[in-house]
Amino acid sequence: MKIELPDLSLVCLVGASGSGKSTFAAKYFRSTEVLSSDAFRGWVADDEADQSATEDAFEALFHLAGVRLKRGRLTVIDATHTRREDRAKAVALARAHHAIPVAIVLAPPADVCLERHAGREDRRFSTRVVRNQHRDVLRSLKHLRREGFRHTWVLKEPETIDAATIARVP
């Protein structure tokens, strides 16, 4: 799949834990383009897993995203974006800065996410959480355009995710 991204996009990665968002972001984008909710939890609370820091982490993340968009820099938000409210905040931010809201959805089979989850030390939550996120992602697909995402790319097979290419277009 050839993913075309307008130069001034705000890209929301959408996917359950273990779907491969951070791996995808590291492969296809500059590290400075990617704002990850985990990293911001780390910066505000010294603990990437501290869920009590989520609100403050997103406040800081959105601030930096806004600054980047104001300066015309493509920005990627690496967070699950499984909830409609979270996606809506990103769409509103993009619009406020005349950037194009884009969703790249990573939805490999739930078993793939769960298998990866099982192999990780840094994810303390239960497999039920991953299953629910996966279900929410699939349910969200048909709403993304109506929510305001101008472009939506949905990658479901692990092979499609690994073989994707990204081109920036003016």
Q: What residues make contact with Mg ion under the rule CB under 5 A?
A: 21-22
Q: Scanning residues 7 to 36, which ones bind ligand ATP (CB under 6 A)?
A: 15, 17-23
| Nearer of residues 123 and 150 to ligand ATP, judged by Cβ | 123
Position 162 contacts ligand ATP (CB under 6 A): yes
Dihedral of CA atoms 27, 123, 61, 165 in degrees, nearest 10, equals 20
Residue 3 pairs in a beta bridge with 166
Q: Which positions from 63 to 82 touch ligand ATP by CB under 6 A, shown as an x/- string? A: -----------------x--
Residue 136 CB burial class (10 angstroms; 0-12, 13-18, ≥19) = middle
Best CA proximity match to 134, nearest among 119, 151, 153, 156: 156
Cβ–Cβ < 8 Å for 131, 125 = no
80 binds, among ligand ATP, Mg ion, none (CB under 5 to 8 A by kind): ligand ATP
Minimum Å gap between C-beta 10 and Mg ion is 18
Instruction: State how far Cα 130 lies from the chain centre.
Output: 15
Size of the residue set binding ligand ATP (CB under 6 A): 16
The token duo for 91 is 């769409």
Instruction: Provide the binding-site residues for ligand ATP, judged by CB under 6 A.
Output: 15, 17-23, 38, 80, 116, 120, 123, 158, 161-162
